[in-house]
């Protein structure tokens, strides 16, 4: 069972990594990421063309995207007053274009984004927007399955512990 669980977890992790690569390729962007966002930071579960493993949430474009129910698109960050002085725009990686779709769990909670980034201003076409949306749904489901598997494993461990305590009490 543990080998099957390890293979299943590896398959979900591979799906997340592949989804970032697919988003980059379909949208023709040099950068893409799948990030999870908490109160203070975003950290990258998968990334293409990006070096950092995390960024402060107050700098993160994804911090804006997670607030939207649909795709959040910034055609030219240098012209957008929300981002024009952002260090991610003025310095490396020199973001000009950003599009991100929220990772929305079945309970409605938005936990992160899948996004594509370019150093040139641009816009996504309808097919690229749809692909990004579909990838966001697939990644969110994969993360939910992982969360459920972890909860099941914890519950099973608790049952084993309780059985061992009961057996120990009966032997004493």
Q: Kindly report, residue by residue over 40-77, the tens digit of the pLDDT.
A: 999 999 999 998 889 999 999 999 999 988 999 999 99
CA distance 78 to 95: 8
Question: Do residues 51 and 70 touch, judged by C-beta distance below 8 A?
Answer: no
Among 17-21, 56-60, 143-147, 163-167, name the one with the lowest average pLDDT: 163-167
- State residue 14's pLDDT score: 83
The pTM of the full predicted model, rounded to 2 decimals, is: 0.80
Regarding beta strands 41-48 and 31-37, do their DSSP bridges make them parallel or antiparallel, or are they unpaired? antiparallel
CA distance 123 to 74: 8
- State residue 123's pLDDT score: 96
pLDDT grade, residue 78 (50/70/90)? very high
- State residue 124's pLDDT score: 98
Residue 148: its H or E element: helix 126-171
Evaluated on CA atoms 93, 96, 97, 101, the torsion sign reads positive
């Amino acid at each position: 069972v543990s080998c099957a669980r390890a293979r299943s977890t590896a398959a979900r992790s591979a799906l997340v990594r592949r989804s970032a690569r697919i988003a980059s390729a379909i949208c023709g962007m040099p950068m893409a990421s799948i990030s999870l966002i908490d109160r203070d930071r975003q950290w990258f579960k998968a990334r293409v063309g990006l070096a950092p493993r995390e960024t402060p949430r107050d700098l993160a474009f994804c911090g804006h995207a997670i607030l939207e129910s649909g795709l959040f698109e910034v055609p030219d960050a240098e012209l957008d007053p929300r981002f024009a002085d952002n260090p991610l725009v003025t310095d490396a990686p020199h973001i000009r274009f950003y599009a991100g779709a929220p990772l929305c769990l079945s309970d409605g909670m938005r936990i992160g984004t899948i996004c594509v980034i370019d150093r040139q201003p641009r816009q996504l076409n309808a097919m690229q927007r749809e692909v990004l949306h579909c990838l966001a749904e697939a990644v969110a489901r994969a993360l939910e399955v992982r969360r459920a598997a972890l909860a099941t494993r914890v519950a099973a461990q608790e049952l084993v512990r309780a059985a061992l305590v009961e057996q120990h009490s009966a032997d004493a």
